Amino acid sequence: MARGPNPRKAAAKPGSGTRRRVRAGKAKPLVGLALAGGGPFGAVYEIGALMALHESLEGVDLNNLDVYVGVSAGSFLAAALANRVHVSEIYGIFIEGEEEEGALTPEVFMRPAFREYLRRARSVPPILLDSLWQYVRQPFARGALESFAALGRAIPTGIFDNDTIHQYLHAVFTQPGRTDDFRRLQRRLYLVATDLDSGESVSFGRPGHDHVPISKAVQASAALPGLFPPVEIDGRSFVDGALKKTLHASEALNDGAKLVICVNPLVPYDAGLAAEKGRGRHRRS
């Protein structure tokens, strides 16, 4: 006589299959990449580190992570990786200076800010007249130095024109398969700049700030005071995002990233600790 299925075994099978399905359906932990500031040399350092990670981390696609965070020089690289520009292509553009369409040349960063110079020059006559009038009215109460201090407003806020950076990146990110819109990216991208008026860090790519073009956000995040003029966005002025923190890895952690790969060329240096270790070596010798 043929025996029927054992009820206990039959009941166990659905349960075990359910457990397997739960494990298989568990969400994959989020992985992020945070790239810090550091100027041109910092960008070169970060590209070298990214090339090393690309060659050594088997199975890790730097164009297929979940969250990208960029600050200052790192904003260029984070925006490019989130737009699926391969790290080898970034290396060719930045390091080898490939003379192909989209190559990044020094002229992009080092074009004089003629419009800023002209705007400031136009402000000199009215400021000078007002300063003279203030001095004539109260020559002893104010003094010459205080009366003419307003002329400081005529000093250019930057040497180089960073609008060329915005134009260059807009041309790169509007090519087929790429986008200059945070909201159309397949991956999350946050580019951090500093609000010049409030001193607060602003993360472009977050709700409320994701309508700003990616190229414009990079321009703001890399607007190093003294070299580049502040970038005006929605009536606010923004400068380099590294003025408060160089890395801002917390942007990825706040999104739930369980692993964040951080590349920071600005390594702190403790002179006191170095001197102490030096004395220790002398004592041992």
Give me the tens of pLDDT residue by residue for the chain, a chain 285 residues long: 444 445 444 444 444 443 333 344 567 889 999 999 888 888 889 999 999 999 998 888 999 999 999 999 999 999 999 999 999 888 887 766 554 545 556 666 667 666 766 776 677 677 667 777 776 777 666 666 665 566 566 666 767 888 888 988 998 899 999 999 999 999 999 999 999 999 999 999 999 999 999 999 999 999 998 889 899 999 999 999 998 888 899 999 999 999 999 999 987 666 676 667 665 544 444
Give the separation between CA 124 and CA 151, rounded to whole angstroms. 7
The C-alpha atoms of residue 62 and residue 43 are separated, in whole angstroms, by 16
Q: How far apart are CA 54 and CA 61, in angstroms?
A: 7
pLDDT value at residue 15:
42
Q: What is the pLDDT of residue 125?
A: 74
pTM for this entry: 0.74
Tokens in use for 275?
A: 């001197």
Do 238 and 223 contact (CB within 8 A), yes or no?
A: yes
Q: What confidence score (pLDDT) does residue 282 get? A: 45
Give the pLDDT confidence score for residue 150 in this predicted structure.
65
Q: The tokens 């580190």 sit on which residue?
A: 49
Q: Which residues pair with 34 in a beta bridge?
A: 69, 262
Q: At what angle do helices 73-82 and 39-56 cross, to 10 degrees?
A: 40
At 261, is the secondary structure helix, strand, or coil? strand
pLDDT of residue 95: 67
- State residue 15 phi and psi, 5-degree precision: -65, -45
Cβ proximity of 75 and 218 under 8 Å: yes
What residues form DSSP beta bridges with 68? Answer: 33, 189
